[in-house]
Amino acid sequence: MIVLASLALSSPLAAHPLPGTEIVISVEPARLSLTLTVPYTDLALAMANGLPKSTGIAPLPAEVEQALATYFAQHMAVAVKGQPAPQLTLSRANPERATHEDIGAYTQLVLDFSAPLAADRQVFPLTLTYDAVIHEIRNQSATVFLQSTGQEAVAIGEIKLDPATGKVAPLTVFGP
Amino acid sequence: MTNKPLIAVAAAVLVLGGGFLGYRQFGGASLAGYLDQNINLGATVPPETDCGTAPTHDRIVCLADMLKSGLDPELLAELQRPYSLAEAKLWSNFPPMGFTERVGPTLGDFSPEQRALIKAILQDAASLAANEGYDELEQVLNADDYLLAETGEAGFSSSNYHIAFLGTPAATGTWQLYFGGHHFALSNTYRDGKMVAATPSFRGVEPFTTFTMNGRENQPMAQEQAAFASALSALTPDQLTKATLEGTYTDIVAGPQKDDAIPTDPKGLNLGEVTPEVQALVLAAVETYVRDVTDADANTIMAKYKAEIADTYIGFTGTPTVTAENDYVRIDGPSVWIEFSMQPGRSLPGVHPHSVWRDKSADYGGNRD
């Protein structure tokens, strides 16, 4: 995640509590993948009783992974060329320790989602509808990156509460 | 002060980001030796000058000229900068290891005599009320010295607070007194000899509980927390329900580099619906921010906020005592925007507050991109 690290260092930080979520969208010839890095305690707060309040970095029980899959199915969706993409499937949910220069050590959850795509299917414009964590923690946000095959991930936008509408608008990507 | 391992590191002054000399690593001596060099603004005695004694803009200009006249060219160039809205926006709640883009030299870059002039400028630019204005500033700086003593973590120190003149202090024209560092941002904008804005104004402190540092007791933000708790405790159950915001706030919304984050549609309890007594309690909470500036300027600002009270809202989440993690309260008026967020401790056990005062029309002196 070298690209993400360098981007974080080049941008002014803007929050003292946990950092926001990072979402990397990867478009491969026959697959759409999303890797989410989410601060654990914020996610636990947003999921209410669906996630233990605290954990080490031990693998999560199957029922917790199922709860995560259910939660994100309710708070994340992708459409390609205006049509819903196939259901995103959670394949990995790993707690990891992370450090932040101001916050210090904390736990984050790395989640891999993917969906198969027809090999010849055009994916752009791609629309990400997402309000995980943000629906509860109103000051949080998610930075979205696009990773194309053989290319470095590029930041393409930030998903957050719109101060004018009080809602979280989808993010549309028109191409790599 | 607790005993901490002494830290000995080679003398180093980092050059970081857009800052000037950046923040100091411990150098040469031990941590204890470094603490002996603590600048301790409270013990610094402002000099006698020919600038008069009344805290007027003329006196601030005079003191600024005195300060500048004694600086070497490099330090002067860093202190006296052209007015720049872009640089005015480079404030943060973070300590220097989390935000390296502040402008201007740090207090540690000046001699004791020069720092005495800086103290006089800061005192004249702020109120002298206990726990507000300059006194609040001094205590927030003491908190950073306390954090350094308790954690030994380079970056915390009262010597790492930046000062800059954005624009030339003078009887005519626009300039901003820029002062800030960890948990503190002062942004007084002056135009043609008058203060036209005191915002954005950020205050935070860790620890939140009373601590002893630099020869005094410190608890600079207890007054803000108590004022909010007092206002919320005066609400009826129905009013408390109306004041309750949806969701959770783990931090302020309109923080650094979030100048456009204030919601356009106010939420919470409309203060036009409450008694004058409750309105007075909310205004008392507002005054813990506005009274950070000189009395005359504070009176002008408070008159505006009082006139707008019936169109102002109070909202909160968490507990109305505003003492627990993720407790959050905001005041949202046609002009005023104040947020107070109680957060987990970063370096010490317990909670600590972040808070911001903004003015929707006057931030940065009303200057816009």
Q: Do B343 and A16 touch (CB under 8 A)?
A: yes
Q: Tell me whether residues A166 and B95 touch, CB distance under 8 A.
A: no
* Cβ–Cβ contact A16 with B under 8 A: yes
Note the pLDDT of residue A17. 58
A146 in Cβ contact with A27 (< 8 Å): yes
Instruction: For residues A114-121, give the mean pLDDT.
Output: 84
- Asked if B344 lies within 8 A of A17 by C-beta distance, the reply is yes
Structure tokens at A47: 């999921």
Predicted confidence at residue B35, as pLDDT, reads 57
Residue A105 confidence (pLDDT):
80
Of A9-23, B187-201, B323-337, give the lowest mean pLDDT range: A9-23
Specify the pLDDT at position B5.
Answer: 30
What rounded mean pLDDT belongs to chain A? 85
Please tell me the distance in Å from A65's CA to the nearest CA on chain B: 24
**pLDDT (0 to 100) of residue B37:** 56
Can you tell me the mean pLDDT for A40-64?
A: 87
Q: Which residue has the tokens 């004249």?
A: B124
What is the model's pLDDT at position A50? Answer: 82
Option in A18, A104, A163 nearest B262 (CB): A163
What is d(CA B11, CA B24) in angstroms, rounded to the nearest whole number? 9
Q: What is the pLDDT of residues A74-103, one digit of tens each?
A: 999 999 888 888 889 999 999 999 887 777
d(C-alpha A13, C-alpha B90), whole Å: 11
The arithmetic mean of pLDDT across residues B53-80, rounded, is 97
Average pLDDT over residues B157-170: 96
B15: pLDDT strictly greater than 70: no
pLDDT number for residue B26: 45
Give the CA-trace dihedral at B255, B256, B259, B260, to 10 degrees. -60
Q: Does B18 touch chain A (CB under 8 A)?
A: no
Which pLDDT band holds residue A29 (cuts at 50, 70, 90)? confident
pLDDT value for A86? 84
Q: Identify which of A121, A111, A172 has the alpha carbon closest to the alpha carbon of residue A146.
A: A172
pLDDT at residue B69 is higher than 70: yes
**CB–CB contact A137 B249 (8 Å):** yes
User: Is the predicted pLDDT of residue A121 greater than 80, yes or no?
Assistant: no
Judging contacts by C-beta atoms under 8 Å, the chain B residues touching residue A17 are 250-251, 343-344
Model confidence pLDDT, tens digit, residues B80-98:
999 999 999 999 999 988 8
